[in-house]
Amino acid sequence: MCRRSDASIECGLARQPGTRICPLMDMPATAAESAPAIHAEALTKRYAPDAPPAVDALSFAMPRGATWGLLGGNGAGKTTTIAMLLGLIVPSAGRVACLGHDMARDRFAALARMNFSSPYIALPGRISVAENLRVYAHFYDVPQAERRITELAGQLQLTALLDRPAGELSAGQKTRVALAKALINRPELLLLDEPTASLDPDTGDWVRSWLERYQAESGCAILLASHNMAEVERLCGHVLMLKQGRVVDQGSPAELLAKYGRDDLEEVFLDIARGRQRQPEPAE
Amino acid sequence: MSAGPSRPAGARAALPERARASARRIWGLVYRHLALYRRSWPRVLELMYWPILQMVVWGFVTAYLAGLQNNVTSVAAGVLLGGVLLWEVALRSQMGFSISFLEEIWSRNLGHVFVSPLRPRELVAGLMAMSLIRVAVGVTPAVLLAWLLYAFGLFSMGPVVVAFFAALLMMGWAVALGVTSLILRYGAGAEALAWSVLFGLTPFSAVFYPVSVLPAWLQPVSLALPAAHVFEGMRAALLQGEIAWGHLAAAFALDAFWLAAMGWVFMRQFQGARVRGALLNIGE
């Protein structure tokens, strides 16, 4: 659906003559159901008119059911991108549609069908895990909320924690509660900002395994922003490498490893972040 | 585990269905705060503490003044205690709204709230509902104590007191919308206003004296506040035993004006916060 250009990928669908916007953004309801999970076109954010863009003309179309990664160093624009996808930040230019809904005009219809988790945004700590999940079940109008909470608690090993105040949990437990909140509405699109940040290797691995299984069983599309290269390599079928708000490269982890001649994504990341090229092996 | 498509993109639910879902989201916000109070008795105590303290202090002042002018005991008690109790309605209404919003900032939960399908107008409705509950919990014990300790029955003014309650409640919401707008614009640094701003309006609100006592140049300022009309109406009810319909109508008309104006300011600041990216990290 999309092809690469030098610094970004562009929507491959033909633009209508005389229009600026890709036809995916304004489509009838039935066509929108086959629209990509996320379709961003020239998405740009400047926090001040004279500041460099935090996100610069980012374009991509992420298919339904895929798991994609957003990789980049601090300040690369990952969080700003996710916030724009969620409608939390208004883009300075460009457009984004999630699940066929234009986020500028119809974001609440999209938000009901997607969800989000970030370790940097907490859940109210004084109320219990069950109460937190009930609040979000109401917000997302989840049918049979108690049954859904029980189901998620069982899957995420939270049953014994349901009556505990959320603020008294360990980091790993909080991550599982945040995941339960993010899955309360059976989202078709899940945005995860560093889902395993500050977790020990064992808990991090448990979360990754759980996400892998959930994605395979639910068919939910997942966009994952992470600094953890091994996590991205393991979970993501496609990676967007961001630097200074632009997509500087993209492809499957295997494609990127082959292209850069590296053994792991961390080295690819460093190559891109530092603008370095691997020296060819000397001929024998 | 399947991701659950609810409704095709672009398709809208019927109005009763949308109204039900909207009511459920508002209830979700109210439930979140009720759960908080259920687990935090100091918060509940704080709701009642100040109205009771105010009522007791002013009750003794009234008793003292009545002793000096022993022929006007009931009138003095009525005007002062009625003023104290009704003014607490406005104060608790404004604080109930503003502090419920601040609770979301203090718990770092605002990002989750704003990426859920909860609309800004539903957020405002939920905060108004919480404000109403806080007023009921905070002011009812003070009203009962005024009756027990000083034999002052607030409802002796007649059913019109309900209209006074409503007008002051709405004025509190209008001021709270202004305070919340400032918090959206300047961050939690503006939170001190949540406690102080309505106290600053006390001299102009004619709580304990008629508008005519104020200097001529200040009287238009006073008459632009719904509270001044409510308290003129209260004095008419207590001293002349009549309902000042003109003042009552003016109070509600001004409430409508200030609510519309502050609602507009709130939506502007909410949109501005989305442009600045402030919703993710409202803090100091």
Tens of pLDDT along A92-123?
999 999 999 999 999 999 999 999 998 888 89
B268-278 confidence digits (pLDDT tens): 999 999 999 88
CB pair distance less than 8 Å for A30 and B8: yes
Determine the residue of chain B that is closest to A27 in CA distance. Answer: B10
A36: pLDDT confidence band, cut at 50, 70 and 90? very high
Q: How many helices (H) and strands (E) does chain A have?
A: 10, 12
Between A6 and B84, where is the model more confident?
B84
CB pair distance less than 8 Å for A109 and B9: yes
Phi, psi of A99 (to 5 degrees): 55, 35
A45-83 confidence digits (pLDDT tens): 999 888 899 999 999 999 999 999 999 888 889 999 999
The whole-chain average pLDDT of chain B stands at 89
Residues of B in contact with A88 (CB under 8 A): 111, 114-115, 274, 277, 279-280
Q: What is the DSSP string of B123-166?
A: HHHHHHHHHHHHHHHHHHHHHHHHHHHH---GGGG-THHHHHHH
A18: pLDDT confidence band, cut at 50, 70 and 90? very low
Coarse DSSP helix, strand, coil percentages of chain A, rounded to the nearest 5 percent: 35, 25, 40
The whole-chain average pLDDT of chain A stands at 85
CB pair distance less than 8 Å for B280 and A121: yes
Across residues B85-97, what is the average pLDDT? 95
Measured between CB atoms, does B5 come within 8 Å of chain A? yes
Q: Which of A135, A147, A164 to mutate to test the interface with B (most CBs of B within 10 A)?
A: A135
- pLDDT above 80: residue A19: no
Which residues have C-beta within 8 Å of that of residue A279, sequence separation ≥ 6?
Answer: none
A210-255 confidence digits (pLDDT tens): 899 999 999 999 999 988 888 898 999 999 999 989 999 999 999 9
Residues of A in contact with B103 (CB under 8 A): 124
Dihedral angle sign, alpha carbons of residues A167, B94, B165, B23: negative
Q: Distance between CA B99 and CA B96 in Å, rounded?
A: 6
Single out the residue of B223, B233, B281, B284 nearest to residue B257, CA to CA: B223
Measured between CB atoms, does B268 come within 8 Å of chain A? no
